[in-house]
Amino acid sequence: MSIDCILFDLDGTLLDTSYDFAYALNQTCRDFNSPPLRYQDLRKIVSQGGQAMTQLAFPTLSGEELEARKQHFLNIYFENIDHHAHVFSGLESGLQRLAEQQIPWGIVTNKPTWLTEKLLQSITFPSEPHSVICGDTLQVNKPNPEPLLLAAKQCDVDAKNCLYIGDHRRDIEAGNNAGMQTAGAMFGYLTDDDYDNPWPTELFFETPYEISQYFQQIYPTYSNLR
């Protein structure tokens, strides 16, 4: 099948946001007199969301107390969201190829809108995404296929002709559920379990540069696709 549209997960696939998350969470630890976390430990679970990151920092908390810490953490993250966030090194040329060939692309993330919009304001892409679907855009989120199907509709492309790239099992499941082609970003925020239990896809990228190389192949310079 042809690939007429590229959809990305955000954190750990399109953008490296781990350093700003690490700063915000460790600042939260300091604010509540808890020991800081190692960056290597935090990085593995960034794609699992704010709840998982807060639980890692405060393993004995639950309920309203944990929720309060999470909000404290996310408020610090919001204020520092663009200090180190950047497009993964090696992916820039791939995004440039999408722009040159006028290939529609988009973002489907479980990150809430208030954080996503602030983050994307600080990032300049070679071409603007045709669709940005956040975790609260609909009443459901990944692995439900509806966010991906909405992104395909906004990009004016059939779902079966979209490639969704993500760094979490739920990304692959969501893409499969939507009838899309899928690929694993194995350079992202993966746990040991992700390596022990293969994802249900046949396409994997070990580095961001491999994504760029793949785009060079499927969208050659003199392509007449668009």
Return the active site residues. Answer: 9
Q: How far apart are CA 193 and CA 185, in angstroms?
A: 15
Cβ neighbour number for residue 56 with a 10 Å cutoff:
15
Are 44 and 194 in contact by the 8 Å Cβ rule? The answer is no
Alpha-carbon distance 109 to 112, whole Å?
A: 8
Query: Which residues are 61's β-sheet partners?
Result: none
Give 133's strand partners. Answer: 108
* Residue 191 neighbours by CB under 8 Å, 6+ apart: 44, 45
Handedness of CA 211, 98, 93, 107 (dihedral sign): negative
Residue 157 in 3-state DSSP? coil
